[in-house]
Amino acid sequence: MSTKILTQHFNEPKLHELATYRKLGGYKGLEKALKMKPAEIAAEVAKSNLRGLGGAGFPVGGKWSTMPPADKAPERYVVANYDESEPGCFKDRVLGERAPHQIIEGLLIAAHAVSAEWAFIFIRGEYGIPFKILEKAIAEADEAGLTGKVRVRLMRGAGAYICGLDTALLETMEGKKAWPRQPPPFPTVVGLMGQPTVVNNVETLAMLPHIIVNGGDWFAKLGVLPNPEKKLPGSGGTAVYSVSGDVEKPGVYEFAMGAPLRAIIDAAGGVRGGRKVKAVIPGGASTPPLSASELDTPMDFDSLRSVGSFLGAGGVIVLDETRDMSEVAHNIERFLAHESCGQCTPCREGSEWTTRILGRMLEGKGTSGDLPNLQRIGENITGKVICALGDTVGMVTRGFMKKFPDDFKSKVPA
Amino acid sequence: MSESKTVKFKLNGREVEAPEGRLLIDAAKDAGVEIPHYCYHPALGNPGNCRLCVVEVQGAPKPLVSCRTFVKEGMVVASDSPAAMRAQQSSLELHLVNHPLDCPVCDQSGECGLQDYYMEIGRYESQVREDKLHKGKRIEAGPHVMLDQERCILCTRCTRFVDEVTKTHELGIFGRGHGQYIDLVPGKTLDNPYSGNVVDICPVGALTEKDFRYKVRVWYLDETDSVCPGCSRGCSTSVHTNTERPWHNDGRRVARIKPRHNPEVNGWWICDDGRFGYDSLDHDRLGRVMRLKDQRRELSWTEAFEEIASALASRSAGKGAGGLVVIASGMLSNEDWAAFKVLFVDTLGVKHFVFGPEPDQLGEEDELLRKREKVPNLKGGQAQGFGTEIPSASWDSLAKDIEAGKVWGLYVVERDLTKVWGQRTADLLSKLGLVIFQGPNKTATGDLAHYRLPATAYVEEEGHFTNFGGTVQAYKKALEPLGSAKPDWAIFHGLAEHLAGDRREEAVA
């Protein structure tokens, strides 16, 4: 059984309208939050063990607590990261289209929690429909007096994958080329226009009303509790998965943290055409794949790390037995090379080089040195770059080569 | 940090000290360890994009870029460990994946960051089987600079220079990922007064000087510490000369001028006027001692000194020293000024001097380096009393005095009067019985003189300039004098000696 928080009312028609949302208990969280002190909200969120659902999985309470106090830095911002661009991820799109007020309510709670008077939603340029829906929802909330003293502004991206990375997003918001910054300092200290800024993914923010209404403990218990013995932080609540690829019913499915991968695939109707699973990319195209033998892996941040992958943004891509993993790797590397911002050398050059080697192998022109070279190039990129995109560039091909060596060996002379 | 604390850390197994908060890459350099780098430049910040300066820091989960890591007490750093070397080498390899192999025709060859580091930390066998990506090769960025986008490694030093130093924003980064390239911002050309500096800071051959392209290989050049004479800033420079291969560089001896880092005077930069204004060092030079009037012929220095000394002495005695006017400028070195004073003030008792920079030696000024006075050493003159006790006469009053017949002689040092008086010059000079011109270059004034004495250019002598702020800097001799040219001070000294000799003879008689 899937546990639903964000998607519980998704069958309700006109959920995107304020009246429907309020009828179903919407904005109760904000109402309650406004009666709380900012520190109390932060404490509740810290207790909930909510982790960032945009990909990094950073504890939300922890992130907020790194902001300097409001009296020392009164100008501060909250930014909702709605730049969902990861191949295989479309849950944020659905969340915004179906329940835009859930995001706005979460954003307002976050603004209150960190005492920010400006709240921005940065939305991917290609997301035209969610943009229009959100634009209308913000106007509705404004008109109903729900935004209070917080000014909510919607900002549209110009179509670059890298803008999903918080510091690149802040750069592009400032009108600059979206080149990631190199923390420290982190955005919570030096963010938008040099001011303390909290950047949270929209799904993460949408969780906040529910945490405030039902309490942090309730949320934490829904998910995976911390394991102090193994020094694992756990992850509270649920995650919304975008399930795509070779499944019967691709779509958005919500599960409690720690649900087995198999359950998610089953919910999506299983593998298309009754074929067998060959690989599953668990968190979106940039996360290393799992093999068919790893389908019982619990889906949460810590468990996926332990098997060498990431929960990422929950973009589950199922690949059946007919797929060639070297083609999949080539496809993803080509995407990453296209989207590499080009700031740092290993990612800029390495993504393109990797893509061209894989492309040549797929044309039947592989050489005996290609596989060790791909392995070496990957090792030389990951951990030696500015941002997570670069780390990914070095991980993807190595991840597929490790789990599916035959698909690669068949492309080079024996 | 007003009071900086000293911290101890370990670098490549050695105990090293550095001020707290110093960048690791700088602290290492202080300790004599140069960590390879491209994007970092002390004057342009540390974007950390080249990823070449990676080092291993004990306790850090991954290699760190030393240009963005601060030294801490007890830190254990290795820039030469196998892991650090591998990380540096891999970054270099990735820089070279699409770098064209046109070293044989690239002017950067011999002083290229890619070549140097390949020999230092690379020396691997290339694994690149793919074709190189192609971008723009011969782009005229501005009047002085050529851009080759293929050679560019996108370190962004040049864009940071035009954004942060000149604030003129002519260059930008366009495109994304591996298709990214440096280019001119639409509607702009790289024509700011400091544009040449982008060539120096470019660690590869992407930005080259138009003047220097295909002229001479850098390994044939000799470098001499010098001081730019282009204005009263007196930027520290290095004069690069080509004498080993005289048939290269179109026969010119001076191949290029580069800034020399001097935090007290010019920092890292020089302006384009100073950098490219060396044409006069090899062109239109005076090499022979000439008597131009009353039987034109070449003289030996001894003949010239005798003739001029006797002419000066006899006219001074007959018509008075007040009728001799000396025109000089801040082009003279401190040594020249001293000899100048001995000759004209102490020996000849001259009363009227013109040496102020107005109007022909003034030019544009800005907040970065360029000063309004386009001569290097007015301060050195002031130290000898010129401009302090001794005022500079005005050009107008001098012209009037000449018209009125109050002047019998002019001694002109390195200055072209036609730039002041225009077409009147010939007429005015024709009223004088004795005009002596001394300088390194041909000028209209020199052609109108009775005697024309060849002086060395600053690169052919050594001396000192005192800049507007009072900083005294030495410039060294880079080249042998052309023809019979002598330093200005030697000419003044020779004349003074002959005049003193004449007086001794008079005394004996």
Q: Are residues A82 and A183 in the same domain?
A: yes
Task: Please state, in angstroms and rounded to a whole number, the distance separating the CA atoms of residues B329 and B127.
Answer: 62
Q: Are residues B304 and B356 in the same domain?
A: yes
User: In terms of residue numbers, what domain contains B217?
Assistant: 129-281
The confidence score (pLDDT) of residue B1 equals 45
Q: Which of B68, B163, B156, B176 is nearest to A177 (CA)?
A: B176
Q: Are residues A73 and A100 in the same domain?
A: yes
Task: Please state, in angstroms and rounded to a whole number, the distance separating the CA atoms of residues B206 and B211.
Answer: 15
| Amino acid symbol at A165 | L
Selected for mutation to probe chain A from B95, B176, B181, B183 (highest A CB count within 10 Å) is: B176
| Amino acid symbol at A186 | F
Distance between A241 CA and the closest CA of chain B, angstroms:
29
Q: Which residue among A341, A350, A373 places its CB closest to the CB of B94?
A: A350
Is residue A226 domain-resident? no
Selected for mutation to probe chain B from A349, A360, A386, A412 (highest B CB count within 10 Å) is: A349
Is residue A297 domain-resident? yes
The confidence score (pLDDT) of residue A414 equals 85
| Amino acid symbol at A161 | Y
Is residue A302 domain-resident? yes
Chain A within 8 Å of B69 (Cβ-Cβ)? Answer: no
Last residue of a domain, one of A320, A345, A368: A320
Is residue B206 domain-resident? yes
Kindly list the residues from chain B whose CB atom is less than 8 angstroms away from the CB atom of residue A346: 51, 90-91, 94
pLDDT reading at B229 higher than 70: yes
Taking a contact as any Cβ pair under 8 Å apart, which residues of chain B between 103 and 132 contact chain A? 127-130
Q: How many domains does chain A have?
A: 3
When pLDDT is averaged across residues B389-402 and rounded to a whole number, the result is 95
Is residue A230 domain-resident? no
Q: Are residues B303 and B277 in the same domain?
A: no
Please enumerate, as own/partner, the contacts of A211-215 that have beta carbons within 8 Å and a separation of 24 or more: A211/A29, A211/A44, A211/A45, A211/A48, A211/A50, A211/A237, A212/A29, A212/A30, A212/A32, A212/A33, A212/A36, A212/A41, A212/A44, A212/A109, A213/A25, A213/A28, A213/A29, A213/A32, A215/A44, A215/A47, A215/A48
Length in residues, chain A: 414
What sign does the CA torsion over A197, A199, A202, A207 have?
Answer: negative
Share of chain B above pLDDT 70, in %: 98
Q: Please answer yes or no on whether A342 and B97 come within 8 Å at the CB atom.
A: no
Q: What is the CATH number of the domain that holds B35?
A: 3.10.20.740
Please count the other Cβ atoms lying within 10 Å of the Cβ belonging to residue A115: 17
Last residue of a domain, one of B81, B96, B111: B96
Residue B130: partners with Cβ closer than 8 Å, 6 or more residues away: A353, A356, A357, A360, B97
Q: Are residues A267 and A395 in the same domain?
A: no
Is residue A397 domain-resident? yes
Q: How many domains does chain B have?
A: 3
Q: What is the CATH number of the domain that holds A122?
A: 3.40.50.11540
Q: Are residues B343 and B472 in the same domain?
A: yes
Question: Which of the four pLDDT bands, split at 50, 70 and 90, describes residue B503?
Answer: low
Taking a contact as any Cβ pair under 8 Å apart, which residues of chain B between 174 and 203 contact chain A? 175-180
User: In terms of residue numbers, what domain contains A260?
Assistant: 238-320
The confidence score (pLDDT) of residue B504 equals 59
The confidence score (pLDDT) of residue B505 equals 60
* CA–centroid distance for A63 within its chain: 16
When pLDDT is averaged across residues B133-152 and rounded to a whole number, the result is 97
When pLDDT is averaged across residues A266-278 and rounded to a whole number, the result is 97
Q: Which residue among B61, B87, B95 places its CB closest to the CB of A384?
A: B87
Kindly list the residues from chain A whose CB atom is less than 8 angstroms away from the CB atom of residue B179: 342
Question: Which of the four pLDDT bands, split at 50, 70 and 90, describes residue A362?
Answer: very high
When pLDDT is averaged across residues A282-286 and rounded to a whole number, the result is 96
Last residue of a domain, one of A187, A217, A247: A217
Angle between helical axes of A100-113 and A38-48 (0-180°, round to 10): 120
Question: Which of the four pLDDT bands, split at 50, 70 and 90, describes residue B508?
Answer: low
Kindly list the residues from chain B whose CB atom is less than 8 angstroms away from the CB atom of residue A360: 129-130
Q: Which pTM value belongs to this model?
A: 0.94
What pLDDT, in 10s, does the model give residues A235-258? 999 999 999 999 999 999 999 999
| Amino acid symbol at B349 | G
Q: What is the CATH number of the domain that holds B501?
A: 3.40.50.740
What pLDDT, in 10s, does the model give residues B419-447? 999 999 999 999 999 999 999 999 999 99
Q: Are residues B34 and B144 in the same domain?
A: no
Q: Please answer yes or no on whether A353 and B130 come within 8 Å at the CB atom.
A: yes
Please enumerate, as own/partner, the contacts of B79-84 that have beta carbons within 8 Å and a separation of 24 or more: B79/B11, B79/B12, B79/B28, B79/B33, B79/B35, B79/B55, B80/B12, B81/B12, B81/B56, B83/B56, B84/B54, B84/B55, B84/B56
Cβ proximity of A109 and A216 under 8 Å:
no
- List the single residue in B with minimal CA-CA distance to A177: B173
pLDDT reading at B157 higher than 50: yes
pLDDT reading at A2 higher than 70: no
Q: Please answer yes or no on whether A182 and B68 come within 8 Å at the CB atom.
A: yes
- List the single residue in A with minimal CA-CA distance to B172: A177
Is residue B103 domain-resident? no
CB pairs under 8 A between A and B: 98
Q: What's the complex ipTM?
A: 0.93
When pLDDT is averaged across residues B255-270 and rounded to a whole number, the result is 97
Residue A74, sorted as left (phi over 0), alpha (psi -120 to 50) or beta, turns out to be alpha
H or E stretch covering A397: helix A388-403
Is residue A103 domain-resident? yes
Q: Are residues A90 and A196 in the same domain?
A: yes
Distance between A167 CA and the closest CA of chain B, angstroms:
14
Is residue B106 domain-resident? no
Q: Are residues A263 and A398 in the same domain?
A: no
pLDDT reading at A301 higher than 80: yes
Is residue A32 domain-resident? yes
Kindly list the residues from chain B whose CB atom is less than 8 angstroms away from the CB atom of residue A376: 90, 127
Last residue of a domain, one of B226, B261, B281: B281
Q: Which residue among B51, B173, B180 places its CB closest to the CB of A384?
A: B51
Please count the other Cβ atoms lying within 10 Å of the Cβ belonging to residue A159: 12
Computed over every residue of chain B, the mean pLDDT equals: 95
Q: What is the CATH number of the domain that holds B137?
A: 3.30.70.20
Please state, in angstroms and as integers, the Cα–Cα distance from residue B210 to each residue in B116, B141, B399, following that order.
23, 10, 43
Q: Are residues B296 and B272 in the same domain?
A: no
pLDDT reading at B507 higher than 60: no
Q: Which residue among A160, A349, A369 places its CB closest to the CB of B95?
A: A349
What pLDDT, in 10s, does the model give residues A184-206? 899 999 999 999 999 999 999 99
Chain A within 8 Å of B48 (Cβ-Cβ)? Answer: yes
Q: Which residue among B94, B153, B180 places its CB closest to the CB of A346?
A: B94
Q: Which residue among A338, A342, A356 places its CB closest to the CB of B154?
A: A342
Is residue B105 domain-resident? no
Is residue B122 domain-resident? no
Task: Please state, in angstroms and rounded to a whole number, the distance separating the CA atoms of residues B281 and B457.
Answer: 6
Distance between B277 CA and the closest CA of chain A, angstroms:
36
The confidence score (pLDDT) of residue A381 equals 96
Question: Which of the four pLDDT bands, split at 50, 70 and 90, describes residue B500?
Answer: confident
Q: What is the CATH number of the domain that holds A362?
A: 1.20.1440.230
Last residue of a domain, one of A285, A305, A320: A320
Q: Please answer yes or no on whether A182 and B153 come within 8 Å at the CB atom.
A: no
Kindly list the residues from chain A whose CB atom is less than 8 angstroms away from the CB atom of residue B175: 342
Q: Are residues A343 and A356 in the same domain?
A: yes
Share of chain A above pLDDT 90, in %: 98
Q: Please answer yes or no on whether B178 and A348 come within 8 Å at the CB atom.
A: yes
Q: Are residues B272 and B359 in the same domain?
A: no
pLDDT reading at B2 higher than 80: no
Is residue B340 domain-resident? yes
Taking a contact as any Cβ pair under 8 Å apart, which residues of chain B between 299 and 328 contact chain A? none
| Amino acid symbol at A312 | G
Q: Are residues B60 and B191 in the same domain?
A: no
Q: Which of B336, B333, B304, B384 is nearest to B493 (CA)?
A: B336
Is residue A3 domain-resident? no
Is residue B119 domain-resident? no
